[in-house]
Structure 1
Amino acid sequence: MHYLPFPRNRNFVEREGVIEMLEGRLLADSDGQRVALVGLGGMGKTQIALQLAHLVKSSTQKYKDYSVIWIPALSMATFEQACTTIVNKFGIRYSGDQDPKEIVREFLSSDKAGKWLLIIDNADDMSVLYGSTQQPGRIADFLPASDDGRILFTTRSQEVAVNVAGSCVVELSEMGPEEAKALLQKSLIKKDQTQDDELVGELLLKLTHLPLAISQASAYMNTNKVRIKEYLRLFQNTDQDMVELLSSGFRDGSHYRSAQGAVATTWIVSFNQIRDTDEDAATLLSFAAAQSSPTEAENIQRQSSFGSALKPERSSQPAAGNSGKKHRTIRAYGEY
């Protein structure tokens, strides 16, 4: 039995060695019962986890005995809704009005569940996982434990990653130029456009090789019958035009409805989470967006998201060749 809310992503592009690393740590290593995949929003964590989930699900030999289960941890409500669906889909017996979260935990912790791979996706918020004065409920209380079970967490937060998986943390790096080009080529209807290396390189640089941004830009071009050159003109026209382009959501069957695949939504959520946990870091990031180079602003956001904000030796040194330049994309959102 399996529960996966999304089909396999036909446009998925393999990131060098990531699937193999997760597979090895989770399924080959006897000590790898919990692994966390951590990276900034929009970098493709959910899609990598989805690819691994379908790999295990479709296995006819190596993992044929595994059940694959997917639970989003965006909030306690999404977690509970998924648990309710799992109880019904798996036909798990329970007594009275027992909490579906507890039913799933007890079932997966028992021998009758057999081998399983559980993906806890978007586990970004410490207060949702471990509770707070404002949110007393704790998802952590409902995570199963079994010698036959494995859990993969995806998260933007280094703090969450370490808390749930200890040292078994895989940090997702940025897409390389060739990987980004391959994703663009798979995503566009008019694939002949990708033959212009200079134009493609310029577009991917503007989109910072971010998988979500590439998918969103491709969806916009496909829907509006816009070619890369015209999209770049719109992107570079005004800050308002750029914000509107990056705010346009898209549906591809492999993203949550609430997100709609919009890069703007992803960045705003990331910033709000930083602000909720560290107001000084959020203030510094806002200032950096208006004053500093791309590397400075992005380093501050990366370190804030990963739980190590405000390290002067990392955030105050601009990259060579970028001195005096401003990251227009980040700056526009700061002003917006």
Structure 2
Amino acid sequence: MSGVEALALIGIIASTLQLASFSSQVLRRIKDYKDDTTTLPKEFWTLQDQLPLISHALHITYKQTQSDELAEEACKALIPVIKGCHQEVLKLKAILEKVAPSAGETGWKRNWKALTSVFHDKDVTAVAAGLAQSLAVINNYHGAYTAATTGSILQKLTAMAEMPQKVEVKVEVPAQHFIAPTVWTDDFAGRKDTIKLLEKLLADEDKHRRVSVIGLGGVGKTRLLLQYAYRFKGSDTHSVFWIHASSMSRMNKTCAEIARLVKIKGWENPMSNKIELVKDYLESPMSGKWTLLLDNADDYDLFYGSGKLSTSIPRSDNGAILMSTRDGRVGMEFAKGNSISLEALSLEESITLLDTRLGVEDNTFNDLKELSEELCGIPLALVQASSFIKQNFLSIPSYLEIYRSSDKDKIELLSEDFDDDYRDDEIRNPIATTWSLSFEYIQKRDPLAADILSVMSMLDPQAIPESLIYNEKSNLKFSKAMGTLQSFSLITSRVDGLVWEGRREKSFDLHRLVRLAMRSWLAHHERLELYTAKALGIMAERFVHSDWDTRAKWGAYLPHAAVLFQSDHLKHIEDVK
């Protein structure tokens, strides 16, 4: 027999055996839920009896091929037959993945899957018939021992009158793990298009995939990662690993926990590098198929600067990595073209989230709409507000009345701590605190960016002309600073700036709630008057000529001048240059 044909046949059989093993596991899981779900079609139970017999017959053929008992002509003839068997088991796998219940699913979801399984009744019948036909052909090429064994198999396949004797086929399948935050809530709202895009970018399981989700703190990046991770909860073929990537200490801590739970060799050694242990494991065949989630990877220096953690991120054709980050430069460096910018929720999505949290008993559609618009569709702010409303037995109009009374009351409400089921328990929850951490990081990493953001928070948040914030000799430094603020999604660039002296001037929007949080942060550090004076000084320098010929320019400055002159801090400034 040709070695090429034998190797091809062995490979096909081994792959089919693994698929059959997977299908048997899924069918057992369906059977576990049989008592508390509606009755599944009998074809599913027929296949549960049939699969061990198929595995048995293929296992005998596998042994005969290895021992060179099959003639060359038989081997050549069996290759297309067993390929057909392989295709039928692939079809079965696809059907089972649609109807099989997962351990984390609610009862109604399992019942729904059981109910919808009737639509696959004909497909399953066709698979069973195809498998029986393949086995009939295989029987013609078996030796005396195989013929004796499969004779009873074919008899049972046609009659199916009694349970066959179970034959255990040992197929080495990597152990599966689900290591992610265990608290799970069922109130995920919206993001359907984003989920579909994630599925598309992470679909190819035959090569390494990397995707980053970039967005403002509190916009729902962690929640999106959790939603994607729980798709694999209870999977028999896919592992999930979650790493908190906000600092080196947190990465070491979560990697040590992964190494302990998986029992990676060397995990007990206190001197071992747990991050490298996890990397080596995920790059080895022992890990099987996996998805790694790197949450809050916000520190560029940690990954691509002095920390060089990017070299410790695993790369394997068996796995995919999904990262969340506030810093767009981290996300783009990590995932190249596969970066997703996560924006605020739409009005419809915001209302759905509030409705899930608060209910509709005491809240009208207009109440939910008004609160959604006031908080700009930021998921964390919406969750925080709904938590405060419920804990204090308020209506939405009562909450909005308090919120709108003053900037001080707004920031106090946005600084209220609250219990949140899905956020990292080592990260403080309030939206104002979340953004304060971003401000502090930017101040350390890029002081000029922090200085520019401080000046912008003194102005109207919409359409801020570049000339009102550009006060530097170095255009390169200014461009880098603006890049930092945009990479953290704190500001956005506009394309409708005014045309002045033959060129279109750039202008920027500052998120309304970010402006409020920034002013609070400056007040806390006793810098609010300093930056009010600085912004007023720049305005005085730029607003020199206000004649008819320069009306476009001073017209763009006017809303910002009005905001400055309404500031309560002007009376404390005695000398503005």
Tell me which interval the TM-score lies in, with the shorter structure as reference length: 0.7 to 0.9
Question: How far apart, CA to CA, are the structure 2 residues paired with 1:302 and 1:203?
Answer: 31
Q: Are the structure 2 counterparts of residues 176 and 302 from structure 1 closer, same or farther at C-alpha, using a change threshold of 3 Å?
A: farther
Deviations 1:187-239 (A, max 9, x none): 12x53233241x32221122111000000111111111121111111111222
> Residue 47 in 1 paired to residue 237 in 2?
no
Distance 1:42 1:307 in 2: 12
Map 1:129-208 to 2 at 5 A: 129-132=303-306, 137-188=307-358, 190-197=359-366, 199-208=367-376
1:191 is paired with a residue whose SS is coil
Whole-angstrom CA distance in 2 between matches of 1:103 and 1:140: 15
Q: 1:226 aligns with which of 389, 394, 398?
A: 394
Q: Secondary structure at the match of 1:258?
A: coil
CA distances 1:266-286 after superposition (whole Å, capped 9, x unpaired): 111222233233222221211
Report Cα offsets for 1:97-126 as digits up to 9, x if no partner. 321111111111101111100000001111
| Pair 1:237–1:140, CA change in 2 (3 A) | same
CA contact (8 A) 2:207 2:316 kept: no
CA displacement, residues 19-78 of structure 1 (integer Å, 9 cap, x when unaligned): 11112101337556111111111110110010000012245xxxx411001001110000
CA 1:302/1:193 → structure 2, altered by over 3 Å: closer, same or farther? farther
Indicate if the aligned counterparts of 1:175 and 1:209 stay in contact, CA closer than 8 A. Answer: yes
CA pair 210-106 structure 1, distance change in 2 beyond 3 A: same
- 5 Å-filtered alignment, 1:287-302, equals 287-294=455-462, 296=464
Point out where structure 2 has 5 or more consecutive residues left out of the alignment. Answer: 1-176, 466-480, 498-505, 525-577
Equivalent residue, structure 2, for 1:67: 239
What is the correspondence of 1:186-265 to structure 2 with a 5 Å cutoff? 186-188=356-358, 190-197=359-366, 199-265=367-433
Classify the secondary structure of the residue corresponding to 1:152: strand
Cα distance in 2 for residues equivalent to 1:295 and 1:123: 30
Give the match's secondary structure for 1:290.
Answer: coil
- Contact kept, 8 Å, 1:129 with 1:140, in 2: the verdict is yes
Distance 1:311 1:44, change over 3 A: closer
Structure 1: runs of 5 or more not aligned:
none
Contact 2:255-2:275 within 8 A present in 1 as well: yes
Q: Distance in 1 between matches of 2:494 and 2:397?
A: 39
1:301 Cα shift? 8.3
Q: Measure, in 2, the Cα distance between the counterparts of 1:204 and 1:248.
A: 18
Question: How far 1:179 sits from its partner (Å)?
Answer: 0.1
User: Are residues 157 and 318 of structure 1, via their aligned partners in 2, closer, same or farther at CA, if it must alter by over 3 Å?
Assistant: closer
Say whether the 8 Å CA contact 1:274–1:305 is kept in structure 2. Answer: no
Distance 1:82 1:38, change over 3 A: same
What displacement does 1:7 show? 2.6
Structure 1 match to 2:254: 82
Residue 151 of structure 1 deviates from its aligned partner by 0.4
Provide the C-alpha distance between the structure 1 equivalents of 2:437 and 2:205, rounded to a whole number of angstroms.
34
Q: CA shift at 1:176, angstroms?
A: 0.4
SS of 1:129's equivalent in the other structure is helix
1:34 matched to which residue of 2? 210
- Could you tell me which residue of structure 2 aligns to residue 113 of structure 1? 287
Q: Distance in 2 between matches of 1:13 and 1:312?
A: 29
Report the structure, 1 or 2, having the larger helix content: 2
Alignment CA distance shift 1:126-1:318 (3 Å):
closer
State the superposition RMSD in angstroms. Answer: 2.8
More contact order relative to length (CA 8 Å, sep ≥ 6): 1
In structure 2, what is the Cα distance between the partners aligned to 1:232 and 1:255? 25
Q: Which residue of 2 aligns with 1:123?
A: 297
Contact in 1 for aligned 2:494/2:508 (Cα 8 Å): no
Does 2:482 correspond to 1:304? no
Cα displacement (A) at 1:314: 8.0
Percent of aligned positions that are identical? 31
Q: Which amino acid aligns with 2:355?
A: Q
Give the SS at the match of 1:225.
coil
- How many residues matched? 319
